Amino acid sequence: MLAPTEKTATAIDPVALRRAFGTFLTGVTVITTRDTDGAPRGMTANSFTSVSLDPPLLLVCVGKSAHSYDAFNSSDSFAVNLLHEAQTDVSNLFASKAANKFDTVNHDRIHTGAPVLTDCLTWFDCSVHSRVDAGDHLVLIGEVQAFGTSPSAPLGFCRGRYANVKDPLPPGWLESHGMIVGYLIEADGNLLLRSDGKGGWVLPSAKRRIADKELKLDGGDALTLVPDDTFLYSVFDVSDRDPGYLIYRARLAQEAASQPLSAGLRFFPIDQLPYDQIPTREISSMLRRYARESASKRFGIYMDSDDGGRLAMVGDAQPWANLPQI
């Protein structure tokens, strides 16, 4: 009878393994939370994975040697902020050991209180679903409580360096997916609307997001906005039409207040919006909500769904100019 063969463990070269792992092209995220004192903490990570749609789960991996490890291991919430192609500086900042990482990066509280970077590709605000100890890392599984996204190009990472993603949003993608990008542009208590040429008023729309503080509207007008004050506001379908809507709220830059507008654009006082001349019921309903929230200075983010939608309130929102820099 032959004796069982004893398997010899093969040594794995950690440097070679890291390089092999690095051939997988990923996006770049900044994961954020608050420590036991309430201070914001964050780090750059590319170990991010979607886990489940029902319930909505995702995971990130936090190295046990990371300076923010204790904060992530003890907090009951965190946010995952996917970076866009113009945010290599943000990635480098949060990959460093700088003490004041949040001083120069705009962020806000959305749902759980974890810091959400307001100018990123996509963000997910999560409560902790579970933690898994895995070797030299902590696997942090989060349940998504709120999220926001944009059509910007993602920041890629492969083989230890940043990578560009070709054609991240091919021409016609928004149209083929039935999405119109509209803007609630506010200036001194007034809201900008565009004539539909039929006696009605609609939201101004744009093919792309803000570039260098300038938003180029469909129709040719270019408006200077405050880029740090542009937030996702509502995502919904229109029941009796094909396109859906991706709506952002924004604020006109002070230096653009005297900027001439084309004949088809007009500012209306928010408390005097022409609801009867809004041809789309869903847009009219959204504008009524916006007027109520503007009066209370407490805004929400609406996501459409089959069972009536979800509205995540942003807490005690303040006028844009007074938002705290935590």
pLDDT in tens, 115-158: 998 888 889 999 999 999 988 889 999 999 888 877 677 888 88
Say if CB 312 and CB 325 are below 8 A apart: no
Residue 186 CA to residue 321 CA, distance in Å, equals 13
Q: Which CATH number is 238's domain given? A: 3.90.79.10
Q: At residue 127, what are phi and psi to the nearest 5 degrees?
A: -95, 150
116, 144, 164 - which closes a domain: 164
The answer to whether 220 and 213 are in contact (CB under 8 A) is no
Lowest mean pLDDT, pick from 5-14, 52-61, 288-297: 5-14
Q: Are residues 268 and 308 in the same domain?
A: yes
Does residue 140 sit in the same domain as residue 201? no
Helix (H, G, I), strand (E, B) or coil at 123: strand
Give phi and psi for 292, each to the nearest 5: -65, -45
Confidence of residue 81 (pLDDT cuts 50, 70, 90): very high
Taking the C-alpha atoms of residue 138 and residue 42, their distance in angstroms, rounded to an integer, is: 15
C-alpha–C-alpha distance, residues 143 and 125, integer Å: 8
Write the DSSP symbol of residue 280. -
Q: Is 149 exposed, middle or buried (0-12, 13-18, 19+ CB in 10 A)?
A: middle
Q: Are residues 156 and 208 in the same domain?
A: no
- Distance between CA atoms of 213 and 198, rounded to whole angstroms? 31
- Decide: residue 246, CB within 10 A, 0-12 exposed, 13-18 middle, 19+ buried: buried
Mean pLDDT of all residues in the chain? 80
Half-sphere exposure of 283 (CA within 13 A, CB side): 29
Which pTM does this prediction carry? 0.54
Which of 137, 164, 191 is the endpoint of a domain?
A: 164
Length of the chain in terms of residues written: 326
Cβ atoms 203, 217 nearer than 8 A: no
Domain-ending residue, one of 112, 132, 164: 164
Residues 193 and 125 in one domain: no
Same domain, yes or no, for 95 and 224?
A: no
What pLDDT digit, counting tens, does each position of 131-142 carry? 999 888 899 999
Contact between 102 and 116 (Cβ < 8 Å)? no
Assigned token pair, 204: 């101004």
Helix (H) and strand (E) counts in the chain: 5, 22
pLDDT tens-place string over residues 306-317: 555 555 555 443
Instruction: Enter the tokens of residue 222.
Output: 């270019």
Residues 157 and 67 occupy one common structural domain: yes
Find the mean pLDDT for residues 46-56.
Answer: 89
Q: Could you tell me which of 136, 135, 13 has the C-alpha nearest to residue 64?
A: 136
Count the domains in the chain.
2
Q: Which domain does 45 fall in, by range?
A: 14-164
